[in-house]
Structure 1
Amino acid sequence: MAGEPGRFFHQSPRRRWGAWEVYEEDAMNLRFSGEQSPATLTDTDTDVVVSRIDFRTDGDTFFLDYLWTNPEFRGQGHAREMVDHFSAFVQTRGGRITPICGVARAMMQGDARYTDVLHVGLRPR
């Protein structure tokens, strides 16, 4: 499925913090799918949704209504990873993002990497 529009494969390390040590678990194989709402980031081994974005479109505008991360996977950077994939997905379609979700808006406005994909009035200063 590599190269299929709207799907990206990669590996994401998971870390567990123990009382005495930090150790690496096996990497998760994640798949992004954004052809329709909700866009999802799914663990391909277990088919569990790790993170998702609810969105709607109007022309070339993608309204990012809601960003969610499965409680089991919070604190591991998956929300940022989801926004990164969604931004790349929107850019390949020549679109712009208007984040309605407060968390996504703060994340995107605070990072210059999203300047090209945010609507002009929302870009970082």
Structure 2
Amino acid sequence: MKPRKSSCSTRSPPGTAIPRACPPPSEEALACGCITLSTRHAGIPEAVEHGVNGLLTEEWDETGFAAAITRILDDPARGTMARAARATAEAKFDNAKGLARVEDIIRATVQAR
């Protein structure tokens, strides 16, 4: 699947990088509209919603991981999950949208004073 071009970016401008709870490869997979299969580790479950835009397994659960791969491949409606993956990235990782949310919070805080 070819990545779609959009304003969605998972990369921070040079010198502005901040630690992320969700690893960039998970964000990038979602941004490409890929069903993401990962573990319930760190902040991954904040981005990958089990059964919605990907599947999650426990760490070191090889049997569960293999079953999840089979589930994805056998699911005739996996396109729905792939579209949800892309929508998640656009909603959560679009730098312009994130900046707008921060600006809204700052404005509301200033106006409340």
* Same structural fold, with TM-score higher than 0.5 when normalized by the shorter chain: no
Structure with max Cα Rg? 2
TM-score w.r.t. length of structure 2: 0.23
Q: Which has the higher strand share?
A: 1
Higher normalized contact order (CA 8 Å, seq sep 6+, divided by chain length) = 2
TM-score w.r.t. length of structure 1: 0.22
Q: Which has the higher helix share?
A: 2
